[in-house]
Structures are given as structure tokens and as C-alpha cells.
Structure 1
Amino acid sequence: MSDHNIATPFPGLDRPLAIVDIETTGGSVTRDRITEIAIIEIDERGVREWSTLINPLVPIPKMIQSLTGITNEMVASAPRFEQVAKEIVTRLQSKTFVAHNVRFDYGFIRNAFAELGYPLSLELLCTVKLSRALYPEHKRHGLEAIIQRFGINTDARHRALADARATYQFLRIAADDKPGETFMTAVQAQTRRPSLPPGLEPAIIEQLPTGPGVYYFYGENNNLLYVGKSINIRSRVLSHFNADRASAKAMAMCQQIRDIRTDSTTGELSALLLESQQIKTHQPLYNRRLRRLSTLYTIQLHEDQQGLLRPEIIDVHAAARTSKMYGLFAGQKKARETLTNTAKAFGLCDCVVTTPGPLRGPCMSRQLKRCKGLCTNDWSILQHNTALMDALGSEALKAWPYRGPVAIVEQQNPNDNESPHTAFLLDNWCLLASAHGTGEPDWEQLKATSNNEALLDRDIYRYLVKVVLKPGKDLTLIPLQ
């Protein structure tokens, strides 16, 4: 642990700063731990350095040891984070938290304090973004690029104090290199607005619409990272940048964002359906929940010769639409797990649910006193059928409430029939066609573009159940038969 004064503050300072750098066991803000921290305080009293190794209480991966030079032996006798937390917060409080790629360092430190029950909240200044603002003619703004560009002397890259010193030297050089007003205006601009991803130009945020639609996050080489939707795109996008301190996935994604594009829609339903379609088409790296499933499975009940209802796991596209479907599952394994859990909870017989076969004496569950005795004639077929239908009731898909297809019209302004709208053609929970326009929708044209081979989609089903059974004030439902 070290603590000593160095040179005087750089010219033009108008606020106390704490320049911070950390080393960690990896890049996950929620899983990995801090192994070293350095803080350079800059205020009216001058400039002071402090640093310490930290025992992360977990092994340091060999790759990280090689990169930083910090070994398990070095941190074995170092203090734990909670033992230096008071020292750290004393040095950070009432100062602007400065770091090169501030979201990384602040994210780790804020999470470490959160584990101790302390809600850390500081003004942030990112020197990556400051470099972009002051030196837009350069493409690279990583610490290594800045060290090389300005000839900054450093003797221990990827050690916290050395990197914090390099960041401090960059501030000194930039303050001397640029007119005082230019430098401080850039600093103030960074601390006034939300902390954006380091690779994202602020002008992109300013251009985001505030209405409903779908937004797309792009990384290097125009790679699509994420697709999302909102009734207020700008507000939702900014919320991503507040959340990344608490989520390793969100932080990793935000570090990679270089561009944001949008598609405005007439309303929330249009945004929901477009988001689902775009995710399934493009398979963005950070979207998991809505990714397309090549095959969905459902459970249907079929009556055997004894009148006993037996569940069958079946490809949803081959399922009989006239029979009730129970659940939409990503795979047969998930469907079987549902049946197994159902059997245990409702006393159902293995011979019907888990290991289908004839009733030839007590099944394994009966021997374990879980089956209520269909296989031993202690329970009737009617009782078992009733229990099975009750057990699967929560998984049952809603019945399509119309004789045929319906149209839903989403109006941008429900009080103005001439405002832009989107018309959707739906049947049996499938989206057959959609069209945008103004005035009265062209129903014949909508029908002509109908995709009669449209397949049942789990996410679209979930959206449509809400709006078909209870349309909102901006939606008009029109039966077409």
C-alpha cells in the first residue's frame, strides 16, 4: 500500500478529481473481483497518489497473471476489499471519478461497494470520450494508443498505479495542448450528460426519436449486437447505459457499441412484432430470449381405447389445431420435464405420463407413494383424466376466439383517422400480413399479401393474446368473417 504527493494540479482545474485504475481477475463486473486499485487525488491541496493490492479471495487466471504481473502469491497477504473500503470511499467522496473507460472501473468498484450494502454514486468523467472530443482526428483512443501518441513514460502497463499515472499525464498534456476554455468545455460536457459507451458519439444519442419503435446497437464492422423496442426509444436506449454497472452482459455489450439505428413504428404492438421479427431474422449477439426456434413442441391429449387420456409431445406444426395444445416448448426435453413435474405434483401415473405403457401393476411412483393409484385401480380413469387436465391447465394455449381471420389496426393518433396506421392480418394466433398507410386500410390488398403458411410463434402468440382478447385504445379489431 502506498500514499504520497506528486506534482501540482494541471492548469484550469475547476473541480476535485479522483483518477482511478483497477486490475481485476477478469472482465465480468458481477463475477470477477478487483486485485489492485490506484487513486490519484487532484484538488486545491495538490496531487496525491495511493494504491494497494487487494486479495480477491478467488484464484487469478494464469492469462490475467501474465497480463498484469499480479500473482496469487502477491495478493495472498493483501487486504480484502472490505478492509480498505473506508479508505477508498474517503478518497473518492466529493470528487469526480475519472478513469480511462470509466464504466469498467466504476462498475467494478460500485458493485464491490454494493456487496457491502453501500450505494456509491459519483459524477463520472471518461478520458476515452474526452480524448475523442479533444482529438477527433484520431481513430484510436485506448490508453495504449494515447501513451504512444503523446510519448507518455510508463514502466508497468496493466498495473493500476502506472495506468492511473498515464491517465493523469494525458489530462496534463491535453490541458496544456488545448486552450483552457476548450479543455474545460469538453470536461464539463462529459460530466453533464449520461455516461455513454466510450465508442459512441454523443450526437447519435441526440438524434434518437422519442416515440415508439425498434432500436439496433451496432459494434465494430457493422456487427449487429442487440435489437430492442420501446414506446420511447431515446429513454429506453439511455436506460441501457445506466444498467451496465449492474450486469456483466450489459457492460460487455455497451463497451462494443459504435452506432445506434432505429425504425419508428405507429405504436407498441408494431414495435413488439417488428422486434421479434428482426431478432429472429438477424440473430443479434446479445439477444437470447426472442431468438428463433427451428421447431416448437406442444403437448396434446389423446384418448386410448380404454378412454384414458394420454399426453403426446408433438411438433407444433403437426399438431391438430382442433385439439387443445398445452404449452409451446423449445424442445422435447422441456416438454418432458413439464410432464414429469406435473406427474409428481398431481399424483399422476408413470404408465401414462413419464413412461407410457399398459397398466400392469404399481408403477415406480406408486411404490414411492407419489402416484395416487391409477395403475392399482385405486384411482379411476375419470379421476386420472380430470387430474391430468387440471395439471396441464396453466399451460393451455388460449382458443382462437373468432371463426376466421381478423384485422387489427394500430393508429398512431387514435383521435385522427387520417394519422398513420399499421394494419395486421391475424388468424389462429399467427401473423399473416401487415401494411402501413393512412386513411382506410386496403383490406383486399392485405389479404392478397397474406402468408397462409405462417407458423405459430411463441413470442407473437404471447403478444397477440394480450391485444386480441383486450385491445388497447389505440387498436381497432375488425373480424373479417
Structure 2
Amino acid sequence: MYAILDIETTGGQFNEEGITEIAIYKYDGQEIVDQFISLINPEIPIQPFVVKLTGINNAMLRSAPKFFEVAKRIIEITENCVLVAHNAAFDYRILRTEFRRLGYDFRIKTLCTVELSQRLLPEQPSHSLGKLVRALGIPMADRHRASGDAMATVKLFKMLLDKDLEKTITKELIKFEVIKGVAPRLLDIIESLPSRTGIYYIHREDGTIIFIGQSKNIKKRVNQHFTGITKTSKKIQVEAFTVTFEETGSELIAQLKESEEIKKNRPIYNRMPRKKALSWAIYSEKDSNGYLNLKLQKADGRKKEIIAFTNEHEGKTALHHITENYQLCPKLNGISHSKTPCAQTENNKCDGACIEQISTEEYNSRVQVFIDKNLFDNKNMIIIDKGRKTGEHSAILIEKGIYKGYAFYDLNYQINTIEILRNIIVPMQNNRDTKNSIQNYIRKAKGIKIMNF
């Protein structure tokens, strides 16, 4: 659990500043679960340059509560949390100073989003909050007010959690929970998980990841691990200390991320995914009459494949669906081997390309729609899919036929402005397996949108 904090002060000499405004958002890694926002009467004057910067003046604070009146609420909302702030050393020092004046020793583990962004976003020229959120397309209101800056820090931290492919932040949090002596039982772990789409990580007490999986229902899948009777399930049940998760909304992102995370972290109870032997593929070729035929053949690296498959049966099933969905001719696609016109012409599912009743231009244009949708070579495209919550979408970026990674966005300009999209993208590996997964998902999924640029 995280307490994401921003403080505005009076300014002045070191350790003599007073708090004028405080905002704390309690964040569970997925959403805000509690918040506290208040002006504070510092009982000392505000420096003129601070009034100009924040808009908070002495008159506004006369009727505001003094720090001792809100101290208990601050302790309650930050209890059992890691304190997160942009330049955390400053906010933590100010908070400790105020508590020290009350005779209370306030101590809490901290994370600094400046340091995290320097590590996870090294390409950014500036790590100031204002410039960073602008570069990442994060909307910001009430700059230099506690609530506005704290909310921007929440959104930045959420993005940094996505970017933290090594799981440094999560592992540190788990170590903190061990220090506190919190050892949740398996049932408690299950109850804390969402029944939504995403990827999950099962950890030992030291934070080590021992299993990674993905599911359309994280809670249900983890429950199966914790109630399973296989040798692996029994070992997981003994060693599991906690489960962290990332909601993805998109099943495709969950599939792609699971594969890469297993390769990277090598959890002891995951079987390493074998490189798929994609031994069959669909190719296009023109016949003697000028019609484009789709042919399922053994994979041949010398030819340009449209979609690859692990076996012949999978390829035949796909070719049947493609032929039907794009109203293509079963005979031209090698599904029917009859010497007479294919039977599909009788029920209007085939419009007679096999007997030249339709022009090559009209027929080939339908085949080309399928090819354009599935052939990635040199293509720049964004696949838009479900997000993790209402109003959010996911974007998968493919540039020059190469899968670059994924991002989540709330505002259209974040994907319409390619530089911002590149900044917020979580980079991922491109290979033949990822290409095949993306192609299969595009072919089967409903509700996705593809933007070419």
C-alpha cells in the first residue's frame, strides 16, 4: 500500500518552514482507496514568492486547521504504507519536522518518484514533475497546489510501476511487509485479488518471484494454484507469501507480458516457454487466371508468410474461418478440391471466382484486405483495445512491422501524438512468437480498433 503525498510550505530557512497545504492519496497499486486534502494554518507568514507560486496567501489560512488538529488523520492514512512523493526527501523532512514539534517521532519507508523516473525513464531530459508529466501526456490541474501535484504524482507512479520491468518497486514493498511481520494466509491473499484480466506474480517472503501467470480472472486462477493437488501447486502453497498483480484489461497484453516476464524472471515453478515451432503458414499467390489464392503450406523462410501456425490442423481451421469471413472461394484457397464449381456458389457464400463469374479486381481486393490486416511488414500501426478501467484504453505499438510495446492512455492526444506515445510505451521484445500472438488476436478478437499511421 502506498501513501502518495505532496506538501506546500511557507518557504523560509531550512527546518523553519511550515506546512500550508497537504494532500495524501492512499493507493493500492491499482486505484486510490482513501484520500486526505487540507489547507493548514502554519502560524507563521508565507514568503511572498510562495504566494505568487501557489496562490495560497495568509488570509486563506486563518480559519484552516493547525497541524496538531490533522496529525492523527495523517498517521491513520499513512499507517502500513510506503510514502511516495516527487522529491520525497523534502516532503518527508517537512512532515517529520512538524511531528517532532508535537513530540512524536514519525518514521515511514519512502520512495522518490524523481529517483524512480531517473532509473526507469533515463531518456527524459528533465525529471521535474511539470516537464515529466507533460512529456508523458499526463493531464495536470492545479500545478503547485498539493492536490494537483499529488494527483499528478499518482498517475506518474502508476506509469512507473508499469515501466518497472525488473519489479524493483514491488520487491522492496514486500521486504517492507516482512519487516512489519505481516504474513497473510492464502485465503487473505485470494480475497485481495481482482476478478479481472491481467498478469500475476506469486512471491516468496524475500520478494523472489516463484510463479508468473495470466488470466481473464486473476482471483479464480490463483485460487486454483492454492487449492491444486499437483506437486507444483503444493510447493507454491508452502512457499507463497504474497501475490502481486497487474491488471491489463487487454487479454493480448496479458499474453505478451506473461511470455516476456517468464523469460526474464525465470520463476522456478514456471516451465520455460519453448520457442514455438511455427511449421505451417498461409501464403498468397496468383493463379493462371490472375486470382489471388491463399495457400496453407509448410513454412518456407524464402517466402513472405502472412500468418504462421504451430501445426497443419490449426492452419486449416484458421483458413476455413478466413475464407468464410472474407467471402473468399474455398476452391481457390485449397479447401475444396472438387473439379466442378465449389458448392458454396449455390448458397451465395462464394460468388463464383472459381468459374470467373467475378472480376479479379473485385475478388483480389477482398483478399488484399485480409493481407493488409495481417501482414506486418513495414507497417506502422496501433492496436487499440480495452483498458484497465472505464475511460482508459490500451495501445499496442507496431513500427515498421516491429512490435515495440504497449501503453495505457486516457486522452486521445497521447496516441495521436506519436512522440508522447513513444514516451509512455512499456518496451517489449519483438520476435516471431509475439508477431504470431498479435496476428491471432487480431483475427479472433472483437471490439479492437486498428490505427495506421
TM-score (norm 1): 0.35
**Larger Rg over CA atoms:** 1
